[in-house]
Every structure is written in structure tokens, then in C-alpha cells.
A and B are shown apart, each in its own frame.
Chain A
Amino acid sequence: EDKVVQSPLSLVVHEGDTVTLNCSYEVTNFRSLLWYKQEKKAPTFLFMLTSSGIEKKSGRLSSILDKKELFSILNITATQTGDSAVYLCAVGTYIQGAQKLVFGQGTRLTINP
């Protein structure tokens, strides 16, 4: 059975801190790993990773994938209160040409001023 596990499940830090969110996976037919940010409603796309060792960056956020050890991390530097959200990790597989995402439980990040 395909499985994606995120840790920690919950994290509370102060504004300005740096945080690292973890995602490990066990899936057949791996195609990609995606990170989403969910504030109240719709998850919004952050990164899609397909190759090991290549860091993707967007402002204060960055992510990297290790396909040998089957994990990914999402880093957020100089955190702001607007970074408070649930961060979802998902692994993409393909079934009959359709993308299927297997999601982790999410990490609830709270940034205190």
C-alpha cells in the first residue's frame, strides 16, 4: 500500500525562526513529489520535485528530494505569521495515464509573532 508520512504533525515557532518539514514515502511507480500549502480552504501548489538532489527555491521557501532515501524536506527561513498553515506533502503516481496523488497527514505550522 502506498504511504506518505509527514513529520512533525504540528510545529509552533516564533516569527523569524527557520523551520524544516519532513516527508517520507513508500510508493510503487513514483513519478513526483509535491508540496502544497493549505490555509483555510484550497491547497495551493508550492513545489513539484522529480529529480534527486536538485533544490527548488521560491523566496524563503525551498525543497529538496532524496529518491534513494525516499524523503523530501521543505525549509522555510525567516518565518512570518503569514506562513501559518497546514503543509501537505503528496507523492504522484500514474494510473492508466491519470495522475494520482497520495497525500501525507500534513504538518500544521503556527508562527507566533
Chain B
Amino acid sequence: DGGITQSPKYLFRKEGQNVTLSCEQNLNHDAMYWYRQDPGQGLRLIYYSQIVNDFQKGDIAEGYSVSREKKESFPLTVTSAQKNPTAFYLCASSFGQGQRRSPLHFGNGTRLTVT
């Protein structure tokens, strides 16, 4: 079955440590996205990537970094510079070009808790 796999589901870290969240898709989608979800604030875009080896900052990129070395993979690193890292992180992907781009397809998310 095609889909997006995020791992781990739950992640606990001490303050000051970097942590990397995994996102893998086998849908052959070209674009991938990372969103953060906090209670009462909806989803906010962290980074997105349209093609391999290229990515752009979203609305809240500070304290995060990404890479896109393979089409299938778009890992997100939460660095110690991120002031409020505890949140639910969602990875998504889509295909198509311009107006014909498909709706986003989401993974099941990673819940990160930093203490």
C-alpha cells in the first residue's frame, strides 16, 4: 500500500538536544512538506520541497532544518535553537504541477515532547 510513513510516533528529548524526525513516502510524489500542529493554532508550514536537493522555508522555519537527498525522504531536524519544540509534527506530500497539483496527503505524525 502506498503512503507516508513518519517515525517515531512519539519522541521524548531533553532540552538542548537536536532531534531528527523521519518522513518517507512511496507515492512517487515530487513535493513534500512539514507542518507543525499546536492546540488552537491549526497547522503551520515549517519547510517544503518541490524536487530533490531543493527546499524552501515556510512560515516558521527558525530552529529547524531539512534535507531532500532522495525523492522518497524528507527528514526534519529540530535543533536546540527552536524555542518551543514540543508539538505534533505532520509530514505531507503532493503531486502535479501548478493548478493541477493534488491535495496534500498526510502521514500519521510524530508527537515530540521536549523537557
Contacts and interface: CB of A to CB of B under 8 A. Distances in A.
A31 to B, nearest CB: 7
A94 B45 contact: no
Given A42-B108, A96-B50, A88 B43 contact: yes
B77 to A, nearest CB: 21
Contact of A48 (B35, B97, B103, B108): B103
Contacts of B20: none
B104 A103 contact: no
Interface string B10-52: 0000000000000000000001000100001111110010100
A105 B107 CA distance: 19
A39 to B, nearest CB: 11
A42 B43 CA distance: 12
B109 A41 contact: yes
Contacts, number: 60
B63 interface: no
A59 interface: no
A43 B94 contact: no
Interface in A72-113: 88, 90, 94-106
A100 B109 contact: no
Nearest to B30: A98
A103 B44 contact: yes
A97 B101 CA distance: 9
Contacts of A101: 43, 45, 104
Given A9-B40, A100-B48, A34 B58 contact: no
Interface of A: 4, 6, 9, 31, 34, 36, 41-45, 48, 88, 90, 94-106
